[in-house]
Copies of this chain bind each other. A is one copy, B any other.
């Protein structure tokens, strides 16, 4: 939990105060359930709820923990000190630490996914808006980092939208999977009646686990972290793309730079040239995120009815991964929202190769006239090799397009109009609207 990369709204969910407030809510919900079932007076849970977790109670619990070496027991004792005597015999009775811990954790995970989904929905809208705006902004598509064929910037973004929508659906699913509590006691055999679990979970907005040991099975945590890292991973790809397009040699986009922001302590030109530092930051955090997969998966493998080797790791990777992803989504959405896009530079880059990128179109036109595919392929490949690599022109300044238009084997098959059509980027982009229609950009 590094302040620098924590949004306030997410940070607050993962404080000790929030965690222990959850624990007390769990305890109260159990007492309420027991009250409802007539096991204890209804007043008990109401009296319990009068206690509010404060920094003072946390401090008292910390002090007690120094003696008893067990943070939940210390918490129970610290709270008990605040409780009226009539509550004491019932408080935490029949429960084990992880009834509080895991149920409280589920509350935190569900709330965290709520915040993440909000941010993902905003990201979705940002991408959709920018995709729509650049629906017809033509640029070169690159494969292997080599110019390939025209696309539009909007299409590129639409591809991201597709991915983001899959993540949103997945996160919603994972939220339901994580919405599970347990009040099943020390080894999952229910000291308290199973109905208590059912009712208490209901009060807390959770479902009861079908079965548990002392803890909930960690396959749920695996799925939670996998879903989070998967989002970070896709952001890594998107941010890498921005970093490429923002490079001086491509110069098709630039991150928005606040007036006053500095690029380098040594190079004054860097403020103008604008390092894409927000996108780099997203890529860097994605690397952290991938690392969290390992403890998350390993931590499912506990022994028998539970061992503790998931505990310390979860104390670290659950908040860290959640908080970092939350921050990354926000940062990436901010960056994309304000990203400067340079359509005229995109247009210039599209022409860099003097038309070589349209070789496939010419090949298709030739095969349309009956030339064998491999013959056409070889012919056009040959013409490409007539220009110089650096300037994409022949010694006497001819481009690939010039050469095609003058080649007898081609002109024998294609009219100049047909050739012109081949070199028209719009010919490659006839289906843009078809693709866009598959998405709902209105929301």
Contacts of A385 in B (CB 8 A): 271-272
Give the chain B neighbours of A357 by CB distance below 8 A. 267, 269
A73-B262, A302-B237 known; A269 vs B373 contact (CB < 8 Å): no
A258: which B residues are within 8 A, CB to CB? 67, 69
Instruction: Report chain B residues within 8 Å CB of A187.
Output: 141, 143, 148-151
Chain B neighbourhood of A384, CB < 8 A = 268-269, 271-273
Given A144-B275, A240-B301, A287-B298; A281-B372 close (CB under 8 Å): no
The residue that A303 contacts in the complex, of B145, B214, B371, B429, with Cβ under 8 A, is B145
Pick from B141, B167, B233, B292: contact of A305, CB under 8 Å = B141
A154 vs B76: C-alpha distance in the bound complex, in angstroms?
33
Partner of A94, one of B73, B170, B364, B431: B364
Instruction: Name the one of B146, B210, B286 contacting A273, with C-beta atoms under 8 angstroms.
Output: B146
In the complex, the answer to whether A95 meets B265 with C-beta atoms within 8 Å is: yes
Select the stretch in A30-38, A46-54, A109-117, A242-250 that faces chain B. Answer: A242-250
A309 touches B287 (CB 8 A): yes
The reply to whether A309 and B290 contact each other, CB–CB distance below 8 Å, is no
Residue from A96, A262, A267, A353 whose CB has the most chain B CB atoms within 10 Å = A267
Judge if A25 is at the interface, Cβ distance under 8 Å.
Answer: no
Please state the number of chain copies in the assembly. 4
Given known contacts A89-B370, A313-B287, A159 and B217 CB-to-CB distance under 8 angstroms: yes
Contact with B along A365-399 (1 / 0, CB 8 A): 00100111110111011001101011000000000
Interface contact A149-B186, CB-CB below 8 Å = yes
CA distance A284 to B318 in the complex (A): 13
Known: A146-B247, A280-B308, A308-B281. A68 touches B298 (CB 8 A): no
A317 within 8 A of partner (CB):
yes
User: For chain A residues 226-265, which have a beta carbon within 8 Å of chain B?
Assistant: 226, 229-230, 233-234, 236-237, 240-241, 243-244, 246-251, 254, 257-258, 260-265
Known: A145-B276, A240-B301, A290-B298. 11 other contacts (CB 8 A): A80-B374, A143-B187, A145-B248, A147-B273, A155-B188, A159-B213, A159-B217, A162-B210, A269-B359, A272-B384, A293-B293
- Contact across chains for A272 and B312 when beta carbons are under 8 A apart: no
Query: A382 → chain B, closest Cβ, in Å?
Result: 9
Given A69-B258, A260-B67, also A381-B189 (CB < 8 A): no
Q: Which residues of B contact A234 (CB under 8 A)?
A: 217, 219, 300
Knowing A92-B373, A158-B211, A226-B226 touch, does A390 contact B345 (C-beta < 8 A)?
yes
A306 CB–B CB distance under 8 Å? yes
User: Which of A186, A240, A248, A432 has most chain B Cβ within 10 Å?
Assistant: A248
A222 at the interface (CB under 8 A from B): yes
Contact B428 A303 (CB under 8 A): no
Q: Is the CB of A431 within 8 A of B97?
A: no
Known contacts A73-B265, A145-B243, A357-B269; A155 and B211 CB within 8 A of each other = yes
Flag A66-80 by CB within 8 Å of B: 1 or 0 each.
011110110011001
B-side contacts of A56, CB under 8 Å? none
Quote the shortest CB–CB distance from A256 to chain B (angstroms).
11
